[in-house]
Amino acid sequence: MKNKSLVAAGAAVGLLLSSAAWAADKKMIVWVPNGASDFWKLAEAGMRKAQTELPDFDLEWKYPERADAAIQQRLIEDLAAAGADAIAVSPLNPKTQTDAFNKIGSQLPLFTFDSDAADSKRVFYIGSSNTDLGKNAGELAVKAMPKGGKCMGFVGNTGADNARERIEGFKAAAGPHSIELVDVRTDDHDQARARANVDDTLVAHGEIDCMVGFYSYNPPKIYESLRDNGKLGQITVIAFDEDPITLGAVKDGSFAGTVVQQPFEWAYQGSKLFAAYINGDKSVVPANGVDIIPGKVITKDNVDEFKADLKAKLSSQ
């Protein structure tokens, strides 16, 4: 077991040393998301902007091999063993990872983003209020379906706090208006399965007249399925995040709208706050341990303005 641990730690050292910017006299902050997705490109761009303002730090972005809580946990343990000075993680399953996070949090500053692990020894969370995002999505559904409807939800992992809170927020806003979230289908971040879930719903649930994609890659899979099955425009779609396919569908009216987060700001502002904390400024820690960066609701009316801002952020690095 000891030899395996050393090998794993050595692999993580290799990961850190592979950065051209790495220098022994700089402090290292590593961001670990919950899986590979185009959604994270904005966050990486925000981190790169922060890097230009933090010359005494190296900022790194490391994806787990796949969206699996055990694999994610092994990665952050390896990074800690390799000498990272702080780690920010988007937990895949906070309930099962709490003890492991506590172990890491006792060794170095551990932060959370996107999805929280509030019961762990993380320093603080930065990201959206996923409950508020869910409510925003529910309000979109109410406007799009004033007579009510039956919705099917799609998400990567219902065990993650961000998914659970979005679902609860959606139900709270839409439920009183006769909009029922009949079920939520999970895909474990497998995009082929995400598409299959939509196809299966069209076959098995003829009563569904609304679909909600709770993770960034779910709405594009909904779009593909509805397009290929001749159902675009016949089913109301509420989306999350800013995938280009999603924004195109909002623009042409195929989707009612999308609720977007600000991952660029999470990583830009978060990197600077984490650096300040490492340097001894504990005043950056919010009193309640949560730093909320509000989301936005994008509809046909403001999608072009949003796309222009998005392009500017991605091309500025």
Degrees (nearest 5) of the Cα angle 276, 281, 284?
A: 75
pLDDT-based confidence at residue 53 (cuts at 50, 70, 90) = very high
pLDDT single digits (tens) 2-18: 333 334 444 544 555 45
Q: Are residues 149 and 113 in the same domain?
A: no
**pLDDT at position 161, please?**
83
Asked whether residue 317 is assigned to any structural domain, the reply reads no
Q: Are residues 26 and 58 in the same domain?
A: yes
Q: Are residues 6 and 115 in the same domain?
A: yes
Q: Are residues 169 and 203 in the same domain?
A: yes
Q: Are residues 250 and 135 in the same domain?
A: yes
pLDDT-based confidence at residue 316 (cuts at 50, 70, 90) = low
Looking at the structure of the chain, the number of domains it has is 2
Asked whether residue 201 is assigned to any structural domain, the reply reads yes
Distance CA 281, CA 124 (A): 14
Asked whether residue 23 is assigned to any structural domain, the reply reads yes
Q: Are residues 89 and 237 in the same domain?
A: no
Q: Are residues 7 and 111 in the same domain?
A: yes
Degrees (nearest 5) of the Cα angle 279, 285, 290?
A: 140
**pLDDT at position 7, please?**
41
**pLDDT at position 160, please?**
83
pTM: predicted TM-score of the whole model, two decimal places: 0.79
Q: Are residues 197 and 90 in the same domain?
A: no
Q: Are residues 85 and 160 in the same domain?
A: no
The interaxial angle of helices 244-252 and 303-315, nearest 10 deg, is 160
Residue 311 above 60 pLDDT? yes
pLDDT-based confidence at residue 67 (cuts at 50, 70, 90) = confident
pLDDT-based confidence at residue 38 (cuts at 50, 70, 90) = confident
Asked whether residue 290 is assigned to any structural domain, the reply reads no
**pLDDT at position 24, please?**
62
Give the pLDDT mean for 91-104.
Answer: 93
Residue 217 above 60 pLDDT? yes
Residue 25 above 70 pLDDT? yes
pLDDT-based confidence at residue 315 (cuts at 50, 70, 90) = confident
Contact between residue 215 and residue 164 where contact means Cβ atoms under 8 Å apart: no
| Residue 190: CATH number of its domain | 3.40.50.2300
Q: Are residues 94 and 60 in the same domain?
A: yes
pLDDT single digits (tens) 236-276: 999 999 999 999 999 999 999 999 999 999 999 999 999 99
Q: Are residues 90 and 141 in the same domain?
A: no
Mean pLDDT, the chain, rounded, equals: 92
Residue 284 above 90 pLDDT? yes
Asked whether residue 300 is assigned to any structural domain, the reply reads no
**pLDDT at position 8, please?**
44
Contacts of 94 (CB under 8 A, 6+ apart): 101, 115, 116, 117, 118, 119, 120, 159, 160, 161
Asked whether residue 312 is assigned to any structural domain, the reply reads no
Asked whether residue 294 is assigned to any structural domain, the reply reads no
Asked whether residue 199 is assigned to any structural domain, the reply reads yes
Q: Are residues 105 and 15 in the same domain?
A: yes
3-state SS track over the chain: CHHHHHHHHHHHHHHHHCCCCCCCCCEEEEEECCCCCCCHHHHHHHHHHHHHHCCCEEEEECCCCCCCHHHHHHHHHHHHHCCCCEEEECCCCHHHHHHHHHHHHCCCCEEEECCCCCCCCCCCEEECCHHHHHHHHHHHHHHHCCCCEEEEEEECCCCCHHHHHHHHHHHHHHHHHCEEEEEEEECCCCHHHHHHHHHHHHHHCCCCCEEEECCCCHHHHHHHHHHHCCCCCCCEEEEECCCHHHHHHHHHCCCCEEEECCHHHHHHHHHHHHHHHHCCCHHHCCCCCEEECCCEEECCCCHHHHHHHHHHHHHCC
pLDDT single digits (tens) 103-136: 999 999 999 999 899 999 999 999 999 999 999 9
**Which residue range(s) make up the domain with 81?**
2-128+262-285
